[in-house]
Every structure is written in structure tokens, then in C-alpha cells.
Amino acid sequence: MTAQPFDLAEADRRHVWHPYTQHGIAGDPIAIARASGAYLYDTNGRAIFDAISSWWVTLHGHAQPEIADAIAEQARTLEQVIFAGFTHEPGVRLAAELARRAPAGLQRVFYSDNGSTAVEVAVKIALQYWQNRGERRRLVVALENAYHGDTFGAMSVSARGLFTDPFADHLFEVARLPDPVEHDVVAALERLIAERAGEIAAVIVEPMVLAAGGMRMWPAQALAGLRELTAAHGILLIADEVLTGFGRTGPLFACEHAGISPDLMCLSKGITGGFVPFGATLATEQLFAAFRSEDRKRTLFHGHSYAGNPIACAAALASLALFGDRCAERRCTIERAHLRAASRLAALPNVSGARVLGTILAFELGAPDRGYLSGVGPALRTFALDRGILLRPLGDTVYLLPPYCATEDDLARAYDAIAEFTEAL
């Protein structure tokens, strides 16, 4: 008997449940066979420019040889070991390296597997910190239009809406500050503190960009104001840098725009260069000290099976080693190209709010505020895909967030496709 050829599309239709996908509407997904640099190649050999870094993870480029080699070598040496009671060189080296490069004071590194868990850990550390100190501070403060992930704690601090509605009555309550793009968020926190100062455990923010909430870029001055105010009242500040970390907004971390150090910082997405799932939560020594004790009840009882996975740590170290002058130049090239494109796009009839921060370009298409389910996004996505460009608008918000190896030619093709689509609207 000869083996049946494998029908990928048929088996996918039959067995796979894809993320953020309405299978009742979605067509067959595109099967990708391999990737290199800024390009994905489908099973027919067609090249697709990955203008969104495959959901914001790919950092230097797909299949970057230095990272691939580091992973292969680590996999042959030590692929995994329990991280409680045991340790290993890539895990310790990475913690030291993150502590060295992060904003001052973030000296302790707790590993997990993804962005949502990095946020869960930060929120749990913040709440237990006050518990361990014997103070009743239980309230977490978050921003309107925030997105912090899809697990329950992360959903609780994220904006409520389409994504969270089915679970609304199972999410813990948080206090909301208004969207910092349109409102004085520092004044709002001041008012909240005046009412409930002694109850507030922590404020969590996505520094500089509310990303999944629509690439909403907010002022560094407001971020600095939040830091000043939280510090003055002993309130913890959690910076969710899951998207903004590792150079996406220009500097290595978005907190650097405001020259601030948070008490906790969440990292994931680009941390391994986009090769393997991984997360890290960085904390100050002051937080760590509140858990260190002879009393077992003060332990942080949290840990994932793959915490500190050596392969992920090796990938992250290899990715960090690529952050030299060349990487900075590439990020600058992307930012300059984005800035030129933003002024060109802003002149088009159906474009509004064109904005750039580092390697991120965003704008709104057509009538504003039609939400995540707006039809214009999917239409542009299809139009761009037909031209070999991967875009995935967030409702009416179109953005480019390319890997750092993207060339000016790659970007120009994407800008041109967007302009062509927009003019035909």
C-alpha cells in the first residue's frame, strides 16, 4: 500500500482550532512552509512580507541564524530542567543580562511562558507584596483601552469589551483611568488617590503605546507623571512591555522615553527574537525582599512547568547579543521610512491619525470608531495579501510593525499597497 499524500488543508479544517478565528467565516488559512528574514514562504513558494512580525514577536528576522544555532546547541546540551531547586547557566546569564539592560532597579527576574503569564505574575507579586507587608491594599488600577493578555487576571486588567464579555462576571474589579491619549491620566489618578489612596496596590500600564487597543500612542510626560505620583504614594507601577520591549518603540524599553523605572516590568513576545514562547517579569529588590523570609507563607507560590526553559533562555541571550549598532541603525531606518510614509498617508482622503513611534506606524482608515469588527480591516488584509504583504488591522486601525531586517524597499511596497487600497475606497 502506498501512503496517502498528506492533505494539509483538509486536516487543518478537521482538527485545528485557530486563535482569534471565527471558523464559520474564515477561509482556509495560508500554509507557511518556511520563513527567512522579513519573509514568509507559503507551500506554493509564494513570498509574503511579514509587516506585523507574525503577531508582534519576530524581532531581528525570521530564522535568524545566530538564534537558530543557539537553540540547536542548547537543545543538544540541556533542553529542560526543573527551575525550583535547580538552576542553569543560560537562565542565570539571561537574568543578569536583563537586569543590566532594564531600567535601573529591576534586579530580580521571574520566568514564565508568555505575555499573559508575565502579567499574571506581576499582578500576583504586587498583591502578595502588600499582603506580606500586612497592609490591606487590594485595588489594581488599569487604563481604559488597555490590553494585557487573555488569561483571567490579564483579562481583568484589560479593557472590558468584545474579547472579555463572555467572562465579565468572572473577572476581578479594577479601577479605571481614562485613555491617556485623550485625557489627563495623571489628574485622574490624583483624584482616585484622593478617594482611595490606602487601597491601591498597583497601577498597570502599557508604556507609550496601548497596542491591541489600537496602537494608541500616549505621551512620555504622562508616563513620567504616573511614575511620580505612584512613587509619592508608595503605589507599585507595573510596566507591561510585552509588546514595547526590545526596541519596538526605539529605545530597548519604552519606559526609557520617560526616563522612568517601574517596580515591575513584564516581557515576552520579542524576548527570544520571536523563536520560542517565553516570558519574564522583572521586579525590584524591595519587592523581592518582602517575599524573602523564614515564613513559608510569604513564598510566591507560582511557577510554570517550563519556567526558565534553557532553550528559550539561550534564544533570548542570542537575540540580546544582536542588539548592537547595526540593530539600532536598522530601527532608525525603519522609523525614518515610517515618518516619511506617515506624512504621505496623512494626505490621503480616508486616512486619519497617522502616527509613528520607533518601528511602529499606525493610522485609522475611513470613518473613525467603528471598532474591532469593522469590515475595512479584513478588506485591506485581503488586498495586501494578494500583493504578498501580511497586514492585520485592528478594526479600522492599520499598523506596520516589521521585523528589524525589513528594508526600505519592503516597507515601500507595503506603503504603496496601503495607499492604493485607500485611494480606491
* Interacting residues toward ligand PLP by CB under 6 A: 114-116, 119, 147-149, 206, 211-212, 240, 242-243, 268
Least distance CB 64 / ligand PLP (angstroms) = 20
Inter-residue contact 239 to 266 (CB < 8 Å): yes
Residue nearest to ligand PLP (CB): 115
Which grid coordinates are listed for 405?
A: 531586517
Least distance CB 322 / ligand PLP (angstroms) = 21
Catalytic residue list: 20, 147, 240, 269
Least distance CB 308 / ligand PLP (angstroms) = 17
If we measure between CA atoms, which residue out of 259, 245, 247 comes closest to residue 118? 245
Nearer to ligand PLP, 50 or 206 (CB): 206
Residues 53, 69: Cα–Cα separation, whole Å:
21
Nearer to ligand PLP, 50 or 240 (CB): 240
Nearer to ligand PLP, 117 or 132 (CB): 117
Q: Is 46 exposed, middle or buried, given 0-12, 13-18 or 19+ CB atoms closer than 10 A? A: middle
Residues 98, 265: Cα–Cα separation, whole Å:
11
C-alpha distances (whole Å) from 208 to each of 86, 304, 353 are 37, 29, 16
Least distance CB 126 / ligand PLP (angstroms) = 15
Nearer to ligand PLP, 246 or 415 (CB): 246
Residues 359, 313: Cα–Cα separation, whole Å:
25
Beta strands across the sheet bearing 397-400: 351-357, 360-365, 397-400
Least distance CB 204 / ligand PLP (angstroms) = 10
376-386 and 408-424 helices cross at what angle (nearest 10)? Answer: 130
Nearer to ligand PLP, 265 or 417 (CB): 265
Determine the 3-state secondary structure of 106 from DSSP: strand
| DSSP 8-state class, residue 29 | P
